[in-house]
Amino acid sequence: MASKPYPPHENAIPLILDGEPIASYQVERPAPQWSHDDCVNYESARELIALLMAYRSEWISRERLRPRPDLALIASWIAERSAYAGELRGLDVGDRDNIARIRRDYGAEARRLAALER
């Protein structure tokens, strides 16, 4: 029984087996929804969130090592770190406005924290 070819899709590419194109099958490849710059911005936003989470983890660790740790302070840093983790999980490469906000606001915070360490 011969198979009926599917109608071609505007972004279709031919399926090639053993170097020969198979005309009756097409593989659909959707057009990308983001650019290279979007991907770079997304990755930098992820790195900024991870960095701010790392700062919180470091602060929590240092506070726990004190003879009388401030448990309220530790709890607030844990909550902040959890909020960052949730934001990281929900981050979408196509959400340009949110990524721009993260890069702007969290980038400023990361620079401020790095300057304090000098």
**pLDDT tens profile 46-98:** 999 999 999 999 999 999 999 999 999 999 999 999 999 999 999 999 999 99
Domain extent, residue 60, equals 36-117
65 with 82, same domain?
Answer: yes
Residue positions counted in the chain:
118
Is 9 found in the same domain as 24? yes
Alpha-carbon distance of 2 to 50, in angstroms, equals 54
* pLDDT value at residue 81: 97
Q: How confident is the model at residue 18 (pLDDT cuts 50, 70, 90)?
A: low
Same domain, 72 and 93: yes
C-alpha 13: how far from its chain's center? 29
Confidence of residue 116 (pLDDT cuts 50, 70, 90): very high
Distance CA 56, CA 92 (A): 23
Nearest-angstrom CA–CA distance, 42 and 79: 23
pLDDT tens, position by position, 22-40 = 555 555 666 678 889 999 9
Same domain flag for 8 and 42: no
Whether residue 3 has pLDDT greater than 80: no
